[in-house]
Amino acid sequence: MTQTMVKTVKNYINGEWVEASTNETKEVFNPATGEVIAHVPISTKEDVDRAVQAAKEAFAEWKEVAVPKRARLLFKFHQLLVDNWEELAKLITTENGKNYTEAYGEVQRGIECVEFAAGAPTLMMGSQLPSIATDLESGVYRYPIGVIGGITPFNFPAMVPMWMFPMAIATGNTFVLKPSERTPLLAVRLAELLEEAGLPKGVFNIVHGAHDVVNGLLDHQDVAAISFVGSQPVAEYVYKRGTANLKRVQALSGAKNHSIVLADANLENAATQIINAAFGSAGERCMACSVVAVEESIADELIEKLVQKANEIKIGNGLDDDVFLGPVIREEHKQRTLQYIETGEKEGAKLIRDGRKDEAAKSKGYFVGPTIFDHVTSEMKIWQDEIFAPVLSIARVKDLTEAVELANKSRFANGACIFTRSGGAVRQFRETIDAGMLGVNIGVPAPMAFFPFSGWKDSFYGDLHANGKDSIEFYTRKKVVTQRWV
Ligand code: NAD
């Protein structure tokens, strides 16, 4: 029996599945049905101590394992992910709600991270200068930093942990993961696959839970670095507390991504991309399109297409055929979303598609239909806040300059897209927009694993982003050796 079939999931410490030192648990729901599918322990600081101790002891040996050997283990893990792809995707849909195709794609994005991390022998190379002066040479050597704490959100239960631990362990670190307590099952399955791949005990550990586990990691003197992905207030908190404890911290945070549609765009493509970006994964993506800033002259035409496409969306259980829009993660999140829809109406935005009226929104799971507001302005809360649900705001603008000014007013700056056929407009957009991940005529410009996931402003706290070369820098430290041989 795999751990994902047991009622209360266990922590994974030093290669063993162990009970948490608490009886406190939380229910894990299937958001499409409202059924309880597991319980997750709300572990304590003592559980964190045990896991960090195990990871610290494992580090002493793991850092000495030759880098190509560590990479070879990731090749095995990669094969196991491929072999179990469909099962993993089904599990994502079951605990998160996104549709099966999206879940399958999520596993792919995780696999790509493992592929990138398996390049550690090349990526970890240092550099030398044979003659910094007469008979004097210098070189840089890279080393792991120790025990890494990873804290992850509910919306990508496979991919986001894989932004972290493959690279962390490939570079010789050991890892303690605190998955989201709302979607803990995927992490459990990943641990099982790592074990099957032959990862030594203690290199990868899981402590389930909530705040206490996070604080336990942030305060622990034997944790060298924290990699966090989640909402803005928690990201800021984690960054401040982690760095106050002198840890290296990267904290990827919330978003409010704008898509700009200019009058010369291919509107059919723009509408298709925006629908996918706004309502895919029920809007629960940090790269979701939340606001469309459209040039007034084509606004009506674009909106007609958006509403028509939104009406064609099939809502339901993501495991059912052709379902595009699954549930949001929890009943509370649904209620919060409904509140935002009411707020938008009160603020004077024009509700042109009301997702509360869709049949599915009345069923047992946590469904909200595609919702679209027109005439949204930057004074409104529905423009300012990350709603993280299938709610799209449309703002009408005079031109590109006004569109960029609007987007740049947001405190968030994860991604932004432009739809146009003009190279000059793309250049202006690229040079003036304050956002770290840009798309041109595509909807979700999430970078692949070999590029950094490079949010700006309140969408990111830290210096080195997840993935890409930044991740090598984040998970390693350097020795510069200056030598004279006479
Ligand atoms: P969340 O902030 O509620 O939770 C993230 C993690 O922090 C979880 O493991 C949770 O247990 C922990 N946590 C929550 N509240 C805490 C507290 N008060 N103290 C200590 N720990 C706490 O986020 P979520 O709802 O699971 O995920 C959605 C959010 O994540 C969205 O804001 C989304 O934009 C963001 N996100 C960002 C990126 C990115 O790359 N920037 C990627 C994915 C998700």
User: Around Cβ 21, how many Cβ atoms within 10 Å?
Assistant: 14
Average model confidence (pLDDT) for the chain?
Answer: 97
Task: Give the pLDDT confidence score for residue 486 in this predicted structure.
Answer: 83
Q: Which of the listed residues 185, 186, 231, 460 should we mutate to test ligand 1's pocket, taking the one with most ligand atoms within 8 A of CB? A: 231
Model confidence over 425-481: pLDDT tens digits?
A: 999 999 999 999 999 999 999 999 999 999 999 999 999 999 999 999 999 999 999
Look at residue 392 and tell me whether its pLDDT is greater than 80.
yes
Q: Which residues line ligand 1 (CB under 6 A)?
A: 151-156, 160, 178, 180-181, 210-211, 214, 229-231, 234, 252-255, 286, 386, 388, 414, 453, 455, 459
> How many angstroms does the Cα of residue 257 sit away from the middle of ligand 1?
17
Residue whose CA lies nearest to ligand 1 atom number 9: 180
Between the CA of 286 and the centroid of ligand 1 the distance, in Å, is 10
Testing ligand 1's pocket by substitution, the residue of 92, 154, 281 carrying the most ligand atoms inside 8 A of its CB is 154
Atom of ligand 1 nearest to the CA of 178: 9
Selection from 417, 408, 415 nearest residue 439 by Cα: 417
pLDDT of residue 72: 98
Tens digit of pLDDT for each residue in 48-103?
999 999 999 999 999 999 999 999 999 999 999 999 999 999 999 999 999 999 99
Would the annotation count 182 as a binding residue? yes
Whether the per-residue pLDDT at 405 is higher than 90: the answer is: yes
Write the residue with the smallest CA distance to atom 11 of ligand 1: 210
Question: What DSSP designation does 8 have?
Answer: B
Distance CA 58, CA 144 (A): 13
Is the model's pLDDT at 40 over the cut of 70?
yes
pLDDT at residue 3, as a whole number = 54
* Other Cβ atoms closer than 10 A to 340: 20
Residue 191 in this model has a pLDDT that exceeds 50: yes
Active site residue 289: no
How confident is the model over 316-335, as pLDDT tens digits?
Answer: 999 999 999 999 999 999 99
178 is in an annotated binding site: yes
Question: Which tens digits make up the pLDDT trace of 328-362?
Answer: 999 999 999 999 999 999 999 999 999 999 999 99
Q: Tell me the pLDDT band of 180, cut-offs 50, 70 and 90.
A: very high
3 state SS for 376-398? CCCCCHHHHCCCCCCEEEEEEEC
Q: Whose CA is nearest to atom 14 of ligand 1?
A: 234
ipTM over 0.90? The verdict is yes
Residue-wise pLDDT for 275-316, tens only, equals 999 999 999 999 999 999 999 999 999 999 999 999 999 999
Report the range of poorest mean pLDDT among 2-6, 204-208, 216-220, 330-334.
2-6
Q: Which ligand 1 atom is nearest residue 255's CA? A: 34
Position 7 confidence tier, pLDDT thresholds 50, 70, 90: confident
Amino acid occupying residue 317? N
* Matching residue, tokens 């493509």: 269
> Rounded to the nearest 10 degrees, how much is the dihedral formed by the CA atoms of 59, 61, 63, 65?
-150
Amino acid at 197: A
Question: Hey, what amino acid is at 367?
Answer: F
Q: What is the distance in A from the centroid of ligand 1 to the CA of 8?
A: 22
pLDDT band for 1, please (50, 70, 90 cuts). very low
Q: Which residue out of 113, 286, 289, 417 is catalytically annotated?
A: 286
* Predicted pLDDT at 288: 98
DSSP string, 421-486: S-HHHHHHHHHH---SEEEES-S--PPPTTS-B--EETTEESSS-BSHHHHHHHHEEEEEEEEE--
Measuring from atom 43 of ligand 1, which residue has the nearest CA?
A: 286
pLDDT at 2 > cutoff 80: no
Residue 386 assigned as binding residue = yes
Average pLDDT over residues 104-126: 98
CA distance 176 to 170: 15
**Ligand 1 center to 231 CA (angstroms):** 4
Segment 187-191 mean pLDDT: 98
- Which atom of ligand 1 lies closest to the CA of 455? 41
Instruction: Give the integer Cα–Cα distance in Å for 472 and 450.
Output: 11
CA 230–ligand 1 middle distance (angstroms): 2
How confident is residue 4, by pLDDT bands cut at 50, 70 and 90? low
Q: Any idea how long the chain is?
A: 486
Q: Which atom of ligand 1 is nearest to the CA of 230?
A: 30
CA–centroid distance, residue 131 to ligand 1 (Å)? 48
